[in-house]
Structure 1
Amino acid sequence: MINYPKLFLKGAALPALMIGGVGTALASVVAGRGGFFAGLAALTVVLLFFIIHLLIAATTRTLDPRLTFAFVALSFLTKLIGMAGFMVALSRTSIDRPWFAGVAFATAAGWLVGEMLAYRQLVRGR
């Protein structure tokens, strides 16, 4: 049996880490210490957000679809509340906010493209 969450994690984590790492390095060069911490925080937030989703998908794959939906909805709400708390905590730091947003967006895009490519490989039967 194919472990779909593992397949998607494998396909998505590498592009996300590469893009987030390059973004963090670029932020460090351009914006200094504030850019470095912004890139690192963005990379961490995006990876945690998506990995939590995959963990829930892995643990609920044999459950009733309605129960799975309930878990996913609850996790999404929890992640939103956690994200709000994280943003409030970051507002009190000296990170470079535009770099945080840019690295977070680029890392999330890399993750999603990696997931799509992993799905395409799955459909093609590789």
Structure 2
Amino acid sequence: MSQSNRAMWRGAALPSFISSVIAMGVSWFVSGLSGFFGALLASFTVVIFFSVSLLVARFTKDANPIATMALAMFSYFTKLFIMAIFLIAVTRLTSPESVDRRAFGVSALVIAFAWLGGEVRAFLKLRLQLPLPESRS
């Protein structure tokens, strides 16, 4: 894993871990054990969802822009499809008494915002070496 990818993942993982722990604690306090399980499931799904994006970026760093965009779109729609199947399965296979849906939704939003904020912050702190365009004399 390159230094920039590692920094991006670490910069996003730390705030999302902290917000996951807080979300699990608050959900447990508000909704009991079902809230805790909802927040735990939300933290798992959000981290996996966004980690795949960084993994795809790692694999396409040297590819041409068209292939990078095609792979990014393919991975995005694949993640959405798998996420929809996962959420339908959780809804059908678990009872609301075992996994609190409201705790899941609120925790997923909080953790996703924390991940995205951490990722943006980590990206802005990177020192990327970009080639300068050739001057025409």
TM-score, structure 1 length as denominator? Answer: 0.91
* Alignment map for 1:31-50 (pairs within 5 Å): 31-50=31-50
Secondary structure of residue in 1 paired with 2:126: helix
Percent identity between matched residues is: 35
Matched to 1:86, the amino acid is F
Q: Distance in 2 between matches of 1:101 and 1:82?
A: 17
Q: Distance in 2 between matches of 1:28 and 1:85?
A: 26
Partner of 2:101: 97
Name stretches of at least 5 consecutive residues in structure 2 with no aligned partner.
130-137
Q: Distance in 2 between matches of 1:66 and 1:77?
A: 17
Render the CA deviation track for 1:42-73: whole Å, top value 9, x for unaligned: 00110001000000000110111110111111
Q: Distance in 2 between matches of 1:124 and 1:49?
A: 25
Partner of 1:79: 79
Q: Distance in 2 between matches of 1:6 and 1:57?
A: 12
Partner of 1:6: 6
Matched, 1:116 2:120: yes
Distance 1:22 1:45, change over 3 A: same
Q: Distance in 2 between matches of 1:36 and 1:55?
A: 28
Matched to 1:106, the amino acid is V
Supply the RMSD in Å over aligned alpha carbons. Answer: 1.7
Q: Distance in 1 between matches of 2:80 and 2:71?
A: 14
Q: Distance in 1 between matches of 2:128 and 2:30?
A: 42
Q: Distance in 2 between matches of 1:86 and 1:33?
A: 21
Name stretches of at least 5 consecutive residues in structure 1 with no aligned partner.
none
* Alignment map for 1:29-68 (pairs within 5 Å): 29-68=29-68
Q: Distance in 2 between matches of 1:48 and 1:104?
A: 12
Greater C-alpha radius of gyration? 2
